[in-house]
């Protein structure tokens, strides 16, 4: 067993949330260390669809997502790196009258709350922005600020910026035990021991396991959303595309390749770090892409993959202080939309650690929101 | 919407590849009564070595040599074996659950098998020298494919490299009267010494080796300029190959040529075995990754065997025997024969394989490709042809933290193109070994996934309607 490694803050998990938290803390002069069981960006944060999406966010996330979006637009300068971020707008397509009705209701709700970033499109407007869209598509909704980034590069960018400010990253270290000793946390892996005053759980699809070690039980599930990417195609779509009620999401990158997602899930074995694809479900995504964009008929699939992600029953993350322990915080189970939140999550966690509070309302995201009421 | 039901077949044994290994496995398995399907992307059985042996476009296929013609006996036995042979199909997914998805005339078909034999053979080792990516540069193997399946030849080409296949194709060209501009042999001097150390007495030199020497004599006798121990290779040209530069015998040479054929041996084609998640190891003798196998060819997945050149380079005769041995093992697992029968029937094969090992070690030592021809050192040399990534690009990615193949791939896109890393995987493993100052075995290889080859989106989309879906995709929270 090697020498005890001490820091002010210890972060478990080297995904975008852990790396962003490390960056924000190091920036404030806090001594911070990250332990990662595999390698930084190995999981969801390095293999996701790269969607930087504000459109359609649950109301509990809108404030966070708005602030994060503002950060994305200047992130390359801030981190002195290339995250691959491109503002391309995001359009959700309405395929029928029912979808239009859904959009109208959403608009009322958003306007009442004072949010005006989602703008409805009629059919000609949709066609103007997406000339190759299928004729049956009747309209849609757009968020102008949205776009995409390259997940691996963005996560690495946070990691490198954090390292430049003095943060330490320990890769290949799986946290096996967490104990509260006096006023500090003692965390052990197979070969190392870490001690810190504050502890942050950014363990992604393993977040529930780490959470339990800290004393908080959560009904998290995990799964393996699937993606596929085509070979290069002639340029046909600038905005990122989603659909109001069909499992479809895709984006065409500058090199012409088209990334197709849509939320279909494969099989996950998180203990073995393995996922398996469900080819029937991913085939459905292929069909949807062609239905909405007939030009995709000519596409060839080059690669398919999936990553491990944690989900809460309400599809909202756990973000905030531990319910049971002092000086312990959570940021996990981002339910397949945590990449966009990376910048703001780091800031929130740094605020909580250094000041004990945050300007955001984290009540709907608290770790014990599913705890049974005492009878 | 198509209403055609999904053809869904299940077999005792599915064999991928109809070369010597796959055909002999099929012949053995069928003889014992197993139901066998053999999948191959070519229109005819034969694999690389016996490609088109029963359907040669040439009037005199025997100019291709006795080793080629010999394949007819096996293709005949295979044709009569009763194995179902799916020709011209592209396997795009092999699952660890016995599922095989393949493209057949633009449609995806699904099969399942209790046991799987992977016999998809070898591919040519990448030859990453400056300019190897230019149009006009091809592999010697592709020259063979053109000759065997289309009867096509190319005049005035330069052949560069090392290994029996290189000499064979040149000799075949000469026999057919095709002018060859030059042969630039890159076998380094020390290889002759190292091969001698393997200690294969001349008296025990197998026929095959003598044949190899015969090929070299044949080439020289034909008056083709022959340069030995060539190094510092560089294909010249900006948009298109215009020639080749190299040094040999202490002199610099430059040969003008618009066609350059490169070859430095073959390595297992890993795309199926890697995507299946089989365990692999780095083989220092053959400088390639190989699946971990027991003596019967069984992989780290109990129901999957890997045989022939897909398991490590064993040659046609070795492949033939391995196919038979693996089939016997699986017949026993399936209950068609008992252990005694299995052992009895495999005994002769094991003995033959053992006697081939020396010879293989000799060949491996003699034709071991030089470090400089596998691990490119010049910044401008392209490593990943699909994404056009050079040594300099990879160095930059390495500096940014791309220490292992997958990280380097995510960092630089090297290996993300349509060849699925086939053309750069070994180079990347070895380069990273050098840069990390670690053995290649510690570095590993890309984590691969299906599809094994490009798959039309429309075909995949149609599969969603054909496949009996157990779970209906419902709209998910958006990513
Ligand atoms: C296929 C896919 C597509 C997606 N598409 C999008 C998208 O388009 N837009 C979007 O906003 N979001 C998307 N997401 C979601 C997004 O990727 C995740 O929400 C986000 O990356 C989560 O970041 P993280 O840091 O919490 O988790 P991760 O990146 O999973 O990081 C957690 C890390 O913790 C480590 N860890 C776990 N347990 C331990 C332990 N005991 N000890 C040490 N280390 C440990 C893990 O190894 C892992 O590296 C997608 C996700 C997937 C899988």
DSSP-derived secondary structure for A277-292 = --HHHHHHHHHHHHHH
Q: Which residues of A touch B456 (CB under 8 A)?
A: 299-301
| Predicted local distance difference test score (pLDDT) of residue B214 | 86
- B444 and chain A in contact, CB less than 8 A: no
| Calpha distance A233→A256 (Å, rounded) | 5
Judged against a pLDDT cut of 80, whether residue B190 lies above it is answered with yes
| Predicted local distance difference test score (pLDDT) of residue B3 | 43
| Calpha distance A83→B84 (Å, rounded) | 51
Judged against a pLDDT cut of 90, whether residue B201 lies above it is answered with no
**DSSP-based three-state secondary structure for A201:** strand
| Calpha distance B474→B129 (Å, rounded) | 50
Least confident range from A320-329, B2-11, B197-206: namely: B2-11
* Residue of higher predicted confidence among B204 and B254: B254
| Predicted local distance difference test score (pLDDT) of residue B473 | 38
Looking at domain A90-144+221-311, its CATH class is alpha beta
Least Cα separation, residue B472 to chain A (angstroms): 8
Q: What Cα–Cα distance (Å) separates residue B305 from each residue in B118, B141, B299, B308, B330? A: 6, 26, 5, 10, 8
B477 confidence band (pLDDT: 50, 70, 90): very low
Cis peptide before B451 (omega within 30 of 0): yes
B205 confidence band (pLDDT: 50, 70, 90): low
Mean pLDDT across B251-275: 96
Query: Which class for A352: exposed (0-12), middle (13-18), buried (19 or more C-beta within 10 A)?
Result: buried
Least Cα separation, residue A236 to chain B (angstroms): 16
Q: How many CB atoms lie within 10 A of CB B239?
A: 8
Judged against a pLDDT cut of 60, whether residue B53 lies above it is answered with yes
| Calpha distance B76→B72 (Å, rounded) | 6
DSSP state of A24: H
Structure tokens of A14? 């080297």
B230 confidence band (pLDDT: 50, 70, 90): very high
| Calpha distance A121→B468 (Å, rounded) | 37
B198 confidence band (pLDDT: 50, 70, 90): confident
B21 confidence band (pLDDT: 50, 70, 90): very high
Contact B410 A304 (CB under 8 A): no
| Calpha distance A247→A260 (Å, rounded) | 10
Q: What Cα–Cα distance (Å) separates residue B236 from each residue in B138, B253, B286, B407, B449? A: 14, 12, 29, 32, 36
Judged against a pLDDT cut of 90, whether residue B427 lies above it is answered with yes
| Calpha distance A340→A146 (Å, rounded) | 9
Contact B304, B276 (CB under 8 A): yes
Judged against a pLDDT cut of 60, whether residue B476 lies above it is answered with no
Q: What Cα–Cα distance (Å) separates residue B262 from each residue in B73, B233, B255, B422? A: 31, 11, 14, 16
Task: Tell whether domain A4-50+152-220+313-365 is in CATH 3.20.10.10.
Answer: no
- Kind plus residue range of the DSSP H or E element containing B9: strand B8-16
**DSSP-based three-state secondary structure for A108:** helix
Q: Domain map of chain A by residue range?
A: 4-50+152-220+313-365, 90-144+221-311
Q: Which pairs with CB-CB distance under 8 Å and at least 24 residues apart come from A101-109?
A: A102/A244, A102/A245, A103/A139, A103/A140, A103/A141, A103/A244, A106/A56, A106/A141, A107/A141, A109/A59
Among candidates A156, A230, A339 on the partner chain, residue whose Cβ is nearest the Cβ of B401: A156
Q: What Cα–Cα distance (Å) separates residue B280 from each residue in A18, B66, B96, B291, B453? A: 33, 35, 15, 4, 21
Q: How far is the CA of A309 from the centre of ligand 1 (A)?
A: 6
Domains of chain B listed by start with CATH number: 11-123+267-337 (3.50.50.60), 126-264 (3.50.50.60), 375-443 (1.10.10.1100)
* Residue of higher predicted confidence among B355 and A61: A61
Phi and psi (nearest 5°) for A287?
-65, -45
Structure tokens of B341? 């029968």
- B203 and chain A in contact, CB less than 8 A: no
Considering chain B, what is the average pLDDT of its residues? 91
* pTM of this prediction exceeds 0.90: yes
Phi-psi region of A284 (alpha: psi -120 to 50; beta: other; left: phi over 0): alpha
| Predicted local distance difference test score (pLDDT) of residue B43 | 86
Contact A296 B457 (CB under 8 A): yes
| Predicted local distance difference test score (pLDDT) of residue B478 | 53
Structure tokens of B182? 């030059």
| Predicted local distance difference test score (pLDDT) of residue A236 | 97
| Predicted local distance difference test score (pLDDT) of residue B44 | 84
B470 confidence band (pLDDT: 50, 70, 90): very low
Among candidates B400, B401, B455 on the partner chain, residue whose Cβ is nearest the Cβ of A301: B455
| Predicted local distance difference test score (pLDDT) of residue B359 | 85
Report how many Cβ contacts below 8 Å link chain A to chain B.
139
B469 confidence band (pLDDT: 50, 70, 90): very low
Strand A184-188 and strand A177-181: the pairing is: antiparallel
Q: How many CB atoms lie within 10 A of CB B154?
A: 16
| Predicted local distance difference test score (pLDDT) of residue B197 | 86
For helices B339-366 and B315-334, angle between their N-to-C axes, nearest 10 degrees: 160
Tens of pLDDT along chain A (375 residues)? 578 999 999 999 999 999 999 999 999 999 999 999 999 999 999 999 999 999 999 999 999 999 999 999 999 999 999 999 999 999 999 999 999 999 999 999 999 999 999 999 999 999 999 999 999 999 999 999 999 999 999 999 999 999 999 999 999 999 999 999 999 999 999 999 999 999 999 999 999 999 999 999 999 999 999 999 999 999 999 999 999 999 899 999 999 999 999 889 999 999 999 999 999 999 999 999 999 999 999 999 999 999 999 999 999 999 999 999 999 999 999 999 999 999 999 999 999 999 999 999 999 999 999 987 655
**Alpha helices per DSSP H over B176-267:** 189-197, 207-221
B471 confidence band (pLDDT: 50, 70, 90): very low
Ligand 1 pocket test, candidate residues A336, A341, A346, most atoms within 8 A of CB: A336
Collect all residues with Cβ–Cβ distance below 8 Å to B245 and sequence separation of at least 6.
Answer: B232, B233, B234, B236, B252, B253, B254
Strands (E), B69-227: 84-86, 90-94, 99-104, 107-118, 122-124, 137-139, 157-162, 180-185, 226-227
Helices then strands (H, E): number in chain B? 16, 22
Q: Which residues of B touch A296 (CB under 8 A)?
A: 457
Least confident range from A90-104, B294-308, B356-370: namely: B356-370
DSSP state of B64: G
Q: How far is the CA of A285 from the centre of ligand 1 (A)?
A: 22
Structure tokens of B29? 């398995």
Query: Which class for B60: exposed (0-12), middle (13-18), buried (19 or more C-beta within 10 A)?
Result: exposed
- B410 and chain A in contact, CB less than 8 A: yes
Q: Which atom of ligand 1 is nearest to the CA of A13?
A: 34
Judged against a pLDDT cut of 60, whether residue B379 lies above it is answered with yes
Judged against a pLDDT cut of 70, whether residue B468 lies above it is answered with no
| Calpha distance A34→B142 (Å, rounded) | 50
Beta bridge mates, B85: B38
Among candidates A243, A278, A303 on the partner chain, residue whose Cβ is nearest the Cβ of B449: A303
| Calpha distance B68→B171 (Å, rounded) | 13
Would you say the CB of residue A45 lies under 6 angstroms from ligand 1?
A: yes
Contact B122, B48 (CB under 8 A): yes
Q: Which atom of ligand 1 is nearest to the CA of A17?
A: 25
């Amino acid at each position: 067993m090697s020498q005890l490694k001490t820091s002010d803050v210890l972060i478990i998990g080297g995904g975008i949330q852990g790396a962003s938290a490390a960056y924000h803390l190091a920036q404030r002069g806090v001594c911070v260390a990250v332990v990662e069981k595999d390698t930084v960006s190995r999981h969801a944060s390095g293999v996701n669809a790269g969607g930087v999406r504000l459109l359609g966010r649950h109301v509990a996330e809108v404030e966070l997502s708005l602030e994060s979006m503002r950060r994305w637009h200047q992130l390359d300068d801030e981190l002195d790196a290339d995250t691959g971020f491109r503002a391309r707008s995001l359009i959700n397509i309405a395929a029928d009258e029912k979808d239009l009705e859904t959009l109208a209701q959403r608009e009322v709700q958003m306007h009442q709350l004072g949010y005006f970033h989602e703008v409805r499109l009629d059919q000609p407007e949709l066609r103007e922005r997406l000339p190759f869209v299928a004729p049956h598509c009747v309209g849609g909704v757009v968020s102008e600020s949205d776009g995409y980034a390259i997940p691996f590069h963005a996560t690495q960018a946070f990691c490198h910026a954090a390292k430049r400010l003095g943060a330490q990253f320990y890769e290949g270290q799986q946290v096996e035990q967490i104990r509260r000793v006096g006023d500090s946390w003692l965390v052990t892996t197979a070969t190392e021991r870490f001690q810190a005053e504050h502890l942050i759980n950014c363990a992604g699809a393993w977040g529930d396991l780490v959470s339990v070690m800290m004393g908080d039980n959560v009904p998290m599930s995990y799964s393996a959303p699937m993606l596929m990417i085509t070979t290069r195609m002639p340029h046909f779509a600038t905005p990122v595309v989603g659909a109001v009620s069909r499992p479809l999401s895709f984006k065409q990158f500058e090199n012409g390749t088209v990334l197709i997602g849509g939320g279909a899930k494969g099989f996950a074995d998180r203990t073995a770090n393995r996922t398996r694809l469900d080819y029937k479900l991913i085939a459905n995504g292929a069909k949807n892409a062609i239905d909405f964009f007939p030009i995709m008929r000519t596409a060839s699939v080059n690669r398919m993959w999936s990553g491990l992600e944690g989900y809460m029953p309400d599809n909202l993350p756990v973000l905030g202080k531990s319910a049971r322990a002092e000086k312990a915080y959570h940021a996990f189970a981002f339910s397949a939309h945590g990449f966009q939140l990376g910048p703001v999550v780091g800031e929130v966690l740094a605020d909580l650690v250094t000041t004990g509070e945050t300007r955001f309302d984290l009540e709907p995201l608290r770790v014990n929101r599913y705890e049974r009421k005492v009878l | 919407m198509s209403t055609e039901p999904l053809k869904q077949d299940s077999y005792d044994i599915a064999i991928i590849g109809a070369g010597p290994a796959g055909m002999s496995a099929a012949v053995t398995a069928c003889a014992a009564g197993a139901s066998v399907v053999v999948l191959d992307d070519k229109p005819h059985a034969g694999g690389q070595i016996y490609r088109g042996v029963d359907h040669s476009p040439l009037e005199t296929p025997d100019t291709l040599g006795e080793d080629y013609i010999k394949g007819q006996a096996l293709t005949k036995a295979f044709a009569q074996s009763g194995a179902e042979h799916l020709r011209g199909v592209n396997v795009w997914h092999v699952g660890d659950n016995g599922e095989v998805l393949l493209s057949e005339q633009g449609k995806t078909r699904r099969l399942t098998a209790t046991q799987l034999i992977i016999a998809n053979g070898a591919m040519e080792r990448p030859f990453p020298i400056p300019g190897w990516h230019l149009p006009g540069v091809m592999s010697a193997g592709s020259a063979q494919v053109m000759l065997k399946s289309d009867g096509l030849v190319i005049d005035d080409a330069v052949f560069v490299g090392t290994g029996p296949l290189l000499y064979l194709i040149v000799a075949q060209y000469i026999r057919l009267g095709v002018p060859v501009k030059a042969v630039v042999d890159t076998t380094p001097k020390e290889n002759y010494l190292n091969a001698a150390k393997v200690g294969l007495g001349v008296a025990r030199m197998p026929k095959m080796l003598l044949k190899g020497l015969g090929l070299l004599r044949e080439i020289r006798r034909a008056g083709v300029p022959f340069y030995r121990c060539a190094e510092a290779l560089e294909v010249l040209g900006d948009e298109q190959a215009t020639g080749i530069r190299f040094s040999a015998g202490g002199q610099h040479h430059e040969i003008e040529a618009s066609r350059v054929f490169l070859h430095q041996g073959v390595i297992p084609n890993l795309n199926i075995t890697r995507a299946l998640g089989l365990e692999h190891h780095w083989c220092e003798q053959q400088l390639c990754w190989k699946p971990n196998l027991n003596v019967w060819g069984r992989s780290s997945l109990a129901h999957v065997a890997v045989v022939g050149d897909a398991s490590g380079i064993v040659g046609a005769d070795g492949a033939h025997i391995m196919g038979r041995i693996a089939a016997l093992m699986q017949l026993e697992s399936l209950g068609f024969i008992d252990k005694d029968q299995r052992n009895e029937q495999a005994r002769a094969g094991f003995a033959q394989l053992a006697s081939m090992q020396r010879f293989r070690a000799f060949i491996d030592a003699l034709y071991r490709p030089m470090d400089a021809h596998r691990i490119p050192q010049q910044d401008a040399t392209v490593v990943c042809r699909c994404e056009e990534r050079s040594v300099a690009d990879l160095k930059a990615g390495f500096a940014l933290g791309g220490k292992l193949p997958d990280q380097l791939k995510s960092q630089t896109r090297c290996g993300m193109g349509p060849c699925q890393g086939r053309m750069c995987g070994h180079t990347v493993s070895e380069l990273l070994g050098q840069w990390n100052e670690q053995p290649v075995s510690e570095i590993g290889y890309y984590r691969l996934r299906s599809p094994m080859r490009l798959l039309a989106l429309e075909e995949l989309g149609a599969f969603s309607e054909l496949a009996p879906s157990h779970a209906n995709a419902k709209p998910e929270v958006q990513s």
